[in-house]
With several copies, the nearest count.
Chain A
Amino acid sequence: MKYIATTDEKEIGIEIVDEHHVRIGDRLIAVDFVALSDQPLYSLIVDGKSYEAYIYPEEGGWQVLLMGRLYHVHVEDEREKRLRAAAGSKVAETGEFHLKAPMPGLVVSVPVSEGQSVEKGDVLVILESMKMQNELKSPRAGTVSRIRVKPGDSVEQRQTLLSVV
């Protein structure tokens, strides 16, 4: 199976030849890849080098925490890539963004109001958890819509707090 992995905006073609070999370009590489203790923790021995990483799925790809650095890797197989090419566009950058509580906590303040324009990086909600006040920021510019919480509310993890359109 052939895959295209994209990280740091670089594309690498990786072909899974069999359980113990991958091909990159015309290099056939011996790999030994195992999950440790049934955890999202993996050991890879590649060409004799021993690596270990946490691998977590994330929206649109994978997070790989390797040697203290976090890499975001987008992986798609050739069929997916062809389909996407045929559709003629990258995944749209627009669409609604739902701000979800990253952890359970107490809403301290909501310094925006519905209909307000925000820039990327603007604070949308301040949430207290573990005795710390955490600023939840907008990942992009847009307009605030549907604020579902108010100061004093206790929220659960992943509860939607508001949206940016």
Chain B
Amino acid sequence: MFNKVLIANRGEIAVRILRACRELGLETVAVYSEADRQALHVRYADEAYLLGPAPSRESYLRGDKIIEIAKKCGAGAIHPGYGFLAEREDFAEACAEAGIVFIGPKPSAIAAMGDKAVARATVAKSGVPVVPGTEDVGDLSDEELLALAPKIGFPLLIKATAGGGGKGMREVRSLEEMPTLLQSARREAEAAFGDGNVYLEKLIEGARHIEIQILADQHGNVIHLGERECSLQRRHQKLIEESPSPFIGTDEDLRQRMGEVAVRAAQAVEYVNAGTIEFLVDKDKNFYFLEMNTRLQVEHPVTEMVTGIDIVKEQIRIARGRQLSYTQEDVSFKGHAIECRINAEDPFNNFMPSTGRITHSVLPTGPGVRVDTSVYPGFEITPYYDPLIAKLIVWGETRGQAILRMRRALEEYRIVGIRTNIPFHQMMMDSTRFIAGQYDTRFVEERFDIEKAEGGSDEAPQIAAIMATLAAHQQTQRAAHVVRRAERDTSNWKWLGRWERLQR
């Protein structure tokens, strides 16, 4: 039985896992790259070891080094979080060989589900419906894929077999554009997962992306914790998740059937620990297995909020060999939860990543609000890792209450020093289609225009004009006092910088 856990990750998820360990009375070990010396996971852990330079390949993807550290410091288990090494069977295998518990499924289950093409074939055999696509097992060459594509029919999707999070994914409308897209998908997949292999899948239009959280212990018990609606995406990146799904709504029969199929899919690979079965659901409520994520999901908190179950603690208990704390009958749902992913990117500039030092921040707090974050004032956002800096999660008695609460939380949230997509989320919470629950996976790209979003106030432009004028006036006034005329020809930027320094 282990009493010390190494967390092989960074960012908000490393902090999330640290908290679970600490609350279970376990000792914690952080690992970090040179860019993360001051990161919260390093600060909060009992022990912390340097992995190497900032790039992931030289740090957070160095499974060998991580296992070596675990052995040296006596950590009996490794939690991989999501991303990085979370779905690498070779890493899970190496942990087992080193006598370290991998907090996750067996290598064989990772392998079976990790190769998305193999996964489809496996679950299909147990009678789970799958989206039509390249069913064949194995690495397909560009030529093979180009030959198969017309049989599946366009539009279709190229997806990374090792993938997740939309990385290495491309939508193809015709055979002509396919070679170029194959190339870029492989390049992105290679960069993200160290594996450029891809497969094809029919694009189901107007589809909703709904997933089922499952938990499975080492004693053969498998339960599901209901669904999460994850259709709100941009460039195949989830942005907003909720539970329950407004599309499933009160259709308890559909919910139950999806849950049962999800449990069956997990059983097909003798799954152990927490996992997620992703489904595409079409307008007629047909649902298709998309893939299984054999790890903790970014969006797990919405399920925690409506079930009261701490998924990460349950993961650790499972890894310690315990029986599940809950039977399927114990699982009940209360209220509604929504998560907004707060990214360091500028929604007004094509969602361009934004880096820099966070100079100030005020978190939304109060009843029904949870923030999972790893940043704080003074922390530097670097270009090396993904742009997720916080998850804002709210709970409400009803979906309407949750939306109102999310609106007030977004309005309270302040981050200075970088740009974030908070305004995007604010517009989404004002959008009539979101409020009505009428959105599919293409909503953001096809129907949403940040320049023409609903809900802006009439008086705001005038208020903005007054504020800009007052700021301009202050700048002029102060500058006139403190800077000699001779220096007047420096740029606005420099001016402001100097003025700010004088203000301190």
The reply to whether A and B meet directly (CB within 8 Å) is: yes
Given A48-B49, A57-B492, A65-B423, do A130 and B360 touch, yes or no (CB 8 Å)? no
Across the interface, B378 reaches (CB within 8 A) one of A37, A44, A108, A130, namely A37
| B219: interface (CB < 8 Å) | no
**Chain A window 43-81, contacts with chain B (Cβ cutoff 8 Å), 1 for yes, 0 for no:** 111101111111101010110111111110101010000
Q: A38-B378, A103-B352 are in contact. Are A71 and B460 (CB under 8 A)?
A: yes
Given A62-B471, A69-B423, A133-B188, verify A36-B463 contact (CB < 8 Å).
Answer: no
B383 at the interface (CB under 8 A from A): yes
Given contacts A37-B376, A68-B426, contact A43 B383 (CB under 8 A): no
Chain A: minimal CB distance from B422 (Å): 7
Binary interface encoding of chain B residues 444-483 relative to chain A, with 1 for a CB under 8 A from any of its CBs, else 0:
0000000001001100111111111111111010000000
> Which residue of chain A is the closest to B49 with respect to CB atoms?
A48
The docked-state distance in angstroms from the alpha carbon of A45 to that of B493 is 27
Q: Does A67 contact B460, Cβ atoms closer than 8 Å?
A: yes
Would you call A53 and B464 a contact (CB within 8 A)?
Answer: yes
Interface size on A, residues (CB 8 A): 67
> CA of A76 to CA of B461 in the docked complex: distance in angstroms?
17
Q: How far is the CA of A37 from the CA of B415 in the complex (A)?
A: 12
A36: chain B residues at CB < 8 Å are 38, 43, 378
A-chain residues with CB within 8 Å of residue B387 when the two chains form the complex:
130, 132
**Cβ-defined contact, B411 with A68, below 8 A:** yes
- Taken residue by residue from 10 to 38, chain A's Cβ proximity to chain B (1 for < 8 Å, 0 otherwise) reads as 10101010000010100001011111111
Contact bitstring B333-373, A, C-beta under 8 A = 1, else 0 = 00000000000110011101111000110000000000000
Q: Which one, B194-202, B209-217, B251-259, B496-504, is touching chain A?
A: B496-504
- In the complex, the answer to whether B377 meets A37 with C-beta atoms within 8 Å is yes
Query: Are A31's CB and B470's CB within 8 A?
Result: yes
How many B residues touch A, CB cutoff 8 Å?
Answer: 72
CB atoms of A103 and B48 under 8 A apart: no
Contact flags B194-236 to A (C-beta < 8 A → 1, else 0): 0000000000000000000000000000000000000000000
Q: How far is the CA of A11 from the CA of B469 in the complex (A)?
A: 12
Whether the Cβ atoms of B383 and A105 lie closer than 8 Å is: yes
Please give, as numbers and ranges, the residues of chain A lying within 8 Å of B492 by CB-CB distance.
Answer: 57, 59
Q: A61, B383: Cβ atoms under 8 Å?
A: no
**B353 adjacent to A129 (CB under 8 Å):** yes
**Smallest CB-CB separation from A48: which chain B residue?**
B47
With A14-B469, A50-B47 given, is the CB distance from A41 to B360 under 8 Å?
Answer: yes
Q: Main secondary structure on chain B at its contact with chain A?
A: helix
When C-beta atoms are compared, the residue in chain B nearest to A108 turns out to be B187
The binding surface of chain A is classed by DSSP as strand
Residues of A within 8 A of B192 (CB): 131
Is the CB of A8 closer than 8 A to any CB of chain B? Answer: yes
Residues of B within 8 A of A39 (CB): 359-360, 378, 416
Q: Is the pair B463, A12 in contact by a Cβ cutoff of 8 Å?
A: no
* Candidates A62, A66, A103; contact of B353 at CB < 8 Å: A103
Q: Are B360 and A57 in contact (CB under 8 A)?
A: no
Separation in Å of the B113 CB from the closest CB of chain A? Answer: 22
Quick one: which of A45, A53, A64 contacts B48, CB cutoff 8 A? A45
Q: Which residues of B contact A16 (CB under 8 A)?
A: 469-470, 473
Compute how far the CA of A132 lies from the CA of B463 in the bound complex, rounded to whole angstroms: 36
Determine how close the nearest CB of chain B comes to the CB of A110; give it in whole angstroms: 14
Q: Which of B167, B383, B414, B465 has the most CB of A within 10 A?
A: B465
B503 close to A38 (CB less than 8 A): yes
Tell me, rounded to whole Å, the shortest Cβ–Cβ distance linking B31 to chain A: 11
| Alpha-carbon distance A128/B188, docked complex (angstroms) | 10
Is B464 a contact partner of A71 (Cβ separation < 8 A)?
yes
Tell me the bound Cα distance from A36 to B379 in angstroms: 9
8 Å CB interface, A68-106 against B: 68-71, 73, 75, 77, 102-105
> Are B461 and A7 in contact, with the CB atoms below 8 A?
yes
Establish whether residues B470 and A50, one from each chain, have CB atoms under 8 Å apart when the complex forms: no
Q: A145 at interface (Cβ–Cβ under 8 A)?
A: no
The answer to whether A14 and B43 have CB atoms under 8 Å apart is: no
Residue of A nearest to B493 (CB): A57
A59, A66, A128 — most chain B CB neighbours (10 Å): A66
A-B contact pairs, 25 of them (CB 8 A): A1-B476, A3-B469, A7-B468, A14-B466, A16-B469, A16-B470, A32-B37, A38-B500, A42-B470, A44-B470, A48-B73, A50-B48, A51-B467, A57-B492, A66-B463, A67-B411, A68-B410, A68-B411, A69-B453, A128-B191, A129-B353, A129-B383, A131-B385, A133-B188, A137-B350
The 3 closest A-B pairs by CB, nearest first: A37-B378, A68-B426, A73-B468
